[in-house]
Amino acid sequence: MTYVRKDLWDLGDGWNDTMLWYAKAVQELQKRPITDNTSWQFLGAIHGFKKDLWISHWQIDEETPLPTQKDQDLFWNQCQHQSWYFLPWHRGYLLAFENIVRETIIKLNGPSDWALPYWNYNEIGTRLHSVTLPHIFYEAKLPDGTDNPLALPKLRFGNTIDGRVVINPLKINLKSLDIALFTGGATGGTPGFGGPETVFHFDGDVQGGLENNPHNPVHIAVGGHINRPGEKDPFEGLMSDPQMAGLDPVFWLHHANIDRLWQVWLDRNPAHKNPVDDPAWAEGPPSGGRPFIMPAPDGSTYTYIVSQMLSLQDLGYTYQDLPAPPQANLATAKVEATAVADTKVTELLGANAQPIKLLGSRFESPVRLDKPGIAKVAQKLAARGLLTAGNAAPLPEERVYLNVENIRGKLNAVILSLYVNLPDGASPEAHPELYAGDIGLFGVRVASQKDESHAGAGLTAVLDITDIVNRLNVQGDLNLDHLHISLFASTDLTPAADISIGRISVYRQGQ
């Protein structure tokens, strides 16, 4: 049987069979003790667990009996981020969760074909409400009068309108679907669609394109944070922190959409390929280290490797909406993807002078450039005719990337918007042509920790600014001495947030 994951908003704003059974199953899983590997809390801890956070967010208390340390070390804190395992690990995680929920629903005399819905929040052009959550996530009670486990008024603090979380549509996009390669590098060039090569990976480094957007901004938009009276540190919602996110029922619908977008990327261009010929990926994670391990509905456990997570057909599910691939320019797309794959040279063009401490909401930083290097880029862009009056998508053989490196801090619920050469005193909204992109800091707290299991290097995000550099060059506004980077934070940053950037750099990647 092939299970069909349905679009959340196609199910309607009110209670429907799919979501009502989901809520009932969540109720049942929440009744199970955390020592039960099919319980709500155990499943959430597989993604991430930190005892003091769970206590402060009323998930457990000091006296709650926990699984043995051996089981915690084996199962918990598995989530793969800033890694080429990001997508396949989460696919296996979703499948384990979905199977447990479905089996629970069947035992409650519900439908045997239940499948996890997905929240498609990228359809603002045709469905304005897609950036919000249905009313059922805010109603205090289920139709039978019991408490609604989907409603978390004390644990979701994202931007709201009329009491409902609303994602800012300007902060999410699908630009990552146009990244040619799955695997990125960790040396300043393309981050790849799926992320850089790593081993089993729990803390930060370079984020893949899909992870950076829309994955991270949606986590932050739902979780958010508040400043509670009398407390110095911000209080974040569950979805804002990877060590709590799996406890929010929205998490699973969000990640179902991220999983769907992986398949959309593959279908979008015949040259988009998973790195199946690389055994380090296909057979990963490496033997001898931590495995990808999940519970089955009966409480037994199993491990999996990446190659077992690649075919939706073999895995027995599909999505209601997988857009048909574009038919035009497929030959050109293949050539472009091949050109990117053949590109070998990544070269540092310049960097700012010193680390930046972020206080307030607007920050400026010049990036000093290597004149010969940026001049070479300008010449190559001009020679290829990458921008003509009225059009021009740059060919991928020569790309320019803005790297924001070693972002550290204690507040995850921050989105940084970056602009290149924004005029003095200008409003960023007036210059969309200078907009480089957004960076969501989901995971920055964990990535900043330095202990026996974390390097403490923080997060690094990479934005493609080829179009901006090309436009400045054509218009005669490209200063060969430096680029000026403006950063805007989604919230006013205080000393308690402790956000800093180690370096802002510019790289070229080409032949």
Report the candidate in 88, 487, 57 with the shortest Cα–Cα distance to residue 255: 88
Tens-place pLDDT, residues 423-469: 998 999 999 999 999 999 999 999 998 874 557 889 999 999 999 99
| Average of per-residue pLDDT across 105-127 | 95
Torsion sign across C-alpha atoms 254, 82, 404, 414: positive
User: Quick check: 215 and 258 in contact, CB under 8 A?
Assistant: yes
Q: What is the pLDDT of residue 53?
A: 97
User: Quick check: 84 and 275 in contact, CB under 8 A?
Assistant: yes
Domain 343-510 listed as CATH 2.60.120: yes
φ, ψ of residue 22 in degrees (nearest 5): -60, -50
Q: How far apart are CA 379 and CA 384, in angstroms?
A: 9
CATH topology of domain 3-319: di-copper center containing domain from catechol oxidase (1.10.1280)
Q: Which residue has the tokens 């931007």?
A: 159
What is 494-510 written as a DSSP string?
Answer: -TTT-EEEEEEEEEEEE
Contacts of 179 (CB under 8 A, 6+ apart): 190, 191, 192, 193, 209, 265
Tens-place pLDDT, residues 231-249: 888 999 999 999 999 999 9
* Band of pLDDT at residue 386, cut at 50, 70 and 90: very low
For residue 260 the two structure tokens come to: 């769907």
Beta bridge partners of 292: 304
* Band of pLDDT at residue 385, cut at 50, 70 and 90: low
pLDDT at 192 over 60: yes
Mean pLDDT (the chain) is 92
Tens-place pLDDT, residues 8-51: 999 999 999 999 999 999 999 999 999 999 999 999 999 999 99
Q: Give the start-to-end residue ranges of the domains of the chain.
A: 3-319, 343-510
Tens-place pLDDT, residues 484-502: 999 999 999 999 999 999 9
Burial class (CB in 10 A: 0-12, 13-18, 19+), 73: exposed
Q: How far apart are CA 320 and CA 7, in angstroms?
A: 7
| Out of 119-133, 245-259, 276-290, 340-354, least confident range | 340-354
pTM for this predicted structure: 0.94
Report the candidate in 199, 340, 344, 198 with the shortest Cα–Cα distance to residue 271: 340
pLDDT at 173 over 80: yes
User: Quick check: 343 and 510 in contact, CB under 8 A?
Assistant: yes
Beta strands in 316-452 (DSSP E): 317-319, 345-351, 356-358, 360-369, 399-408, 415-420, 435-440, 450-451
